[in-house]
A and B are shown apart, each in its own frame.
Chain A
Amino acid sequence: MSYGRELIATRELLLNLTMREVKGQYRRTALGQLWSIINPLATMVVYTLVFSLLLRSEPPPGDPSGLDVYALWLMCGLLPWTYFTRVVNGGVASITSNAGLIKKVYFPRMHLPLSITLSTAITFGVELGVLTIALWVFGGFPLPWLPLVMIAVVILAMFATGLAMMLAILNVHFRDTQHFVSILLPMWMFLTPIIYPFSLVEAAAERTGAWVLTVFELNPMLHIVQVFRTLLYDNALPGQLDWLAAILAASVVFSLGYLVFSRNERRLAELL
């Protein structure tokens, strides 16, 4: 039986592992699922204070939405990024933290990182729902764009999962990986125009040379974040280049991750 067919045949396990993550996460907390909203809200307050009030980061108003609220603009990029880091961090550790299970039962191991992707997608969905309402309250019209946002979520999920699967295998060989990843991700965030507008990068490129722009544009997350932001904040169709770069990066990274993981998964039990 091919690996893909085995995955499909055991899809109920994926569902149950996902529910295990969802239900287990906020057990014994008074606020429960609310935590998944409080978390990004707190980040939003701090970033807005520092970057809008103190450092005076001024992103251009939404075109054609007319929105001009830094906090909302920030969240349109920060929420996808937060989802990305949750999938990568969770996925990387998903194999090593389930070592007991892997050594005792056979099942397609890919369900472990995939269950992280799905369970965090539920949180992401709730966050996007709240953001949509906020955007609408402040005068945007995000609703018609939601179907395209869904496609963007799938692209982001594939990109993040592909990366998580590759790193999860690497983490079994070298436990340094997860520590390395937790340093790398914040650095990556600051190199992606999430808390500052892309116009700052363009301005820097004008001063120092066009290579700055090229380097930034090589970052797939820049395009993915741009897609989200254009859809949600500007209420416009993202540029073809952003779509193309996002889809290309997601397909390549996911295929690579799938290949690396399925080739190595049979040996995981003895490596752990």
Chain B
Amino acid sequence: MSEVTARGTAGTAIVVDGVSKKFRLFHERNQTLKSAIMRGRRIVADDFWAVRDVSFEVPQGQTFGLIGRNGSGKSTLLKTLARIYQPDEGRVVMSGRVSSMLEVGSGFHPELSGRENIFLNGSILGLTRKQVTARFDEIVDFSGVEAFIDQPVKNYSSGMYVRLGFAVAVHTEPDILIVDEILSVGDGAFREKSRKKFAEFTGQGRTVILVSHSLAQIRDMCQQVAWLHAGRLRAIGATEDVVEAYEASIEAEST
């Protein structure tokens, strides 16, 4: 994977080239030694292609949206981009440091304080201790949990928990940020703050790729959108064109 970053030039941030990802569907979802032995060598799994031969490029400094119905392969594709899944076919090339926000606060330890968890979560997302220290005040300020920063996070309200996780993730300052359905975090004021942060992000030549079911949000934030249907790329292009076509297909189906 390329580690070279050419931030500022209008290059390509992400190249997705013929990516396919399959899962094995076991008829007997029984992962025990006994069932493996009883099965013997019979194959009882079917291949299910969650993502099939998807190719596109995302230019630098853009917010790129992925839309599609439930089960269309958006999240699988996103996880492949985030290196959590390995594609079975094709390849993904990312230029620069990648950070993913598929779930905020993953890796928080409930018994540890907010402060300790910021350092823990920061390093899970690829920051050094120095970098976290440098951004610590900004993170706390953004999350709005100053008063409780030395309390164990298990005592946090769900909103505080998510806001703190979100604050750490946006402050990792990656070249490419992968976001899954988490922009609905917090109250109106916090959402507005997040939206501004994302605008600032792309303004600095960083790239954001996001999945959302909120078409209003997609329209608001994305310059380009890819529409996935049953694992394949149905359409890609300027946000308005693709979202309109998508809405039309949903309407056609529901009438």
**A interface, CB within 8 angstroms of B:** 1, 10, 12-13, 15-17, 19-20, 23-24, 27-28, 100-107, 173-176, 266-267, 269-270
Contacts and interface: CB of A to CB of B under 8 A. Distances in A.
Contacts of B23: 270
Contacts of B124: 13, 16, 101, 105, 107
A269 B32 contact: no
Interface of B: 1, 3, 23, 31-34, 36, 79, 82-86, 100, 102-103, 106-107, 109, 111-112, 116, 119-120, 123-126, 128-129, 152
A243 B106 CA distance: 43
Contact of B107 (A10, A101, A175, A270): A101
27 contacts: A1-B1, A13-B123, A16-B120, A16-B124, A19-B116, A19-B120, A20-B109, A23-B109, A23-B112, A27-B112, A27-B152, A101-B106, A101-B107, A103-B84, A104-B84, A104-B100, A104-B103, A105-B84, A105-B102, A105-B106, A106-B82, A174-B31, A174-B36, A176-B34, A269-B79, A269-B85, A270-B23
B126 A10 contact: yes
A267 B86 contact: yes
Dominant SS at the A interface?
helix
B105 to A, nearest CB: 10
A16 B33 contact: no
Given A10-B126, A105-B124, A269-B79, A24 B84 contact: no
Contacts of B31: 173-175
A31 to B, nearest CB: 16
A100 to B, nearest CB: 6
B86 A266 contact: yes
A102 to B, nearest CB: 8
Closest 4 CB pairs of A and B: A106-B83, A104-B106, A27-B111, A104-B103
Given A101-B106, A105-B100, A12 B83 contact: no
Nearest to A266: B86
A105 B125 contact: yes
Contacts of A16: 119-120, 123-124
B102 A24 contact: no
Contacts of A101: 106-107, 124
Contacts of A175: 31-32
B24 to A, nearest CB: 9
